[in-house]
Copies of this chain bind each other. A is one copy, B any other.
Amino acid sequence: MYLVKVYVTYKESVLDPQGEAVKGAVHRLGYQDVTSIRIGKYFEIKVAALDEKTETDVQREIEAICDKLLANVNMETYRYEISLLEEVSV
């Protein structure tokens, strides 16, 4: 089993109104030293390691899923980390 962690964030050039709103709330809580907050989406995806599926296969699959579904590639950018989960046999 592979565990893939995907981070989808706005591109630097894109304004993040939600981040600005949260920053305002944080300042009202008294934490004035917080200078910026950017908000993104975080996915934990498990992929079955069938028929000797390699990490490269998983990489290609995740990029296709991100491009088609998880990220709006006009405004957002994504990065991911792939790790192999130890199978626990009972």
Contact = CB atoms under 8 A, between A and B. Distances in A.
Interface of A: 1, 7-9, 22, 25-26, 29, 31, 33-48, 50, 53, 61, 64-65, 68-70
A86 to B, nearest CB: 15
B42 A40 contact: yes
Q: Kindly list the 9 A-B residue pairs having the minimum CB-CB distance in the complex, ordered from nearest.
A: A42-B42, A40-B42, A33-B48, A36-B46, A38-B44, A35-B46, A37-B45, A35-B48, A7-B42
How many chain copies does the complex carry?
2
Nearest to A51: B33
Contacts of A64: 29, 31
27 contacts: A9-B42, A22-B43, A22-B70, A25-B69, A29-B68, A29-B69, A31-B61, A31-B64, A33-B47, A33-B48, A33-B50, A34-B47, A34-B48, A35-B47, A35-B48, A36-B45, A37-B44, A37-B45, A37-B46, A38-B43, A38-B44, A39-B43, A40-B41, A40-B42, A41-B41, A41-B42, A42-B42
